[in-house]
Structure 1
Amino acid sequence: MRKMRFYGFGGVEFLFKTFKHAYSNHSLSYLRHTHSCWMLGKK
């Protein structure tokens, strides 16, 4: 039982970390894309 709980917690932490990493990467690329579009539109 204890092992199951430990693995469950580890899995949740791993999922949260990967989700955070993917989210930050996505928002960064999105910001860069909108910024480049804005710069192109200003020209």
Structure 2
Amino acid sequence: MKEEMKMKPLFTAKVKAEHGRAGHMERLVQTQSNYLQQAMQLVSEEH
């Protein structure tokens, strides 16, 4: 039982780290798609 208690904070920290990374990737993708949309608008305005 004591071993389990020791492992839990580690596990929680790992899950949080993974979750944070996933969120970061999502934001990156979001930003990139925003850039793409802006670029497409610029191109369509020029033509």
TM over 0.5: yes
- Report the Cα offset of residue 32 of structure 1: 1.0
Corresponding residue for 1:24? 36
For normalisation by structure 2, the TM-score amounts to: 0.67
The structure with the largest alpha-carbon Rg is 2
State how far apart, in whole Å, the 1-side matches of 2:21 and 2:45 are: 36
Q: Which runs of 4+ in 1 moved over 6 A?
A: none
For the aligned residue pairs, the C-alpha RMSD in angstroms reads 0.8
* Deviations, residues 13-35 of structure 1 (Å, cap 9, x unaligned): 00001111111011110111122
* Matched residues, number: 35
Taking every aligned residue pair, what percent have the same amino acid on both sides? 11
Corresponding residue for 1:2? 14
Question: What amino acid is aligned across from residue 22 of structure 1 in structure 2?
Answer: N
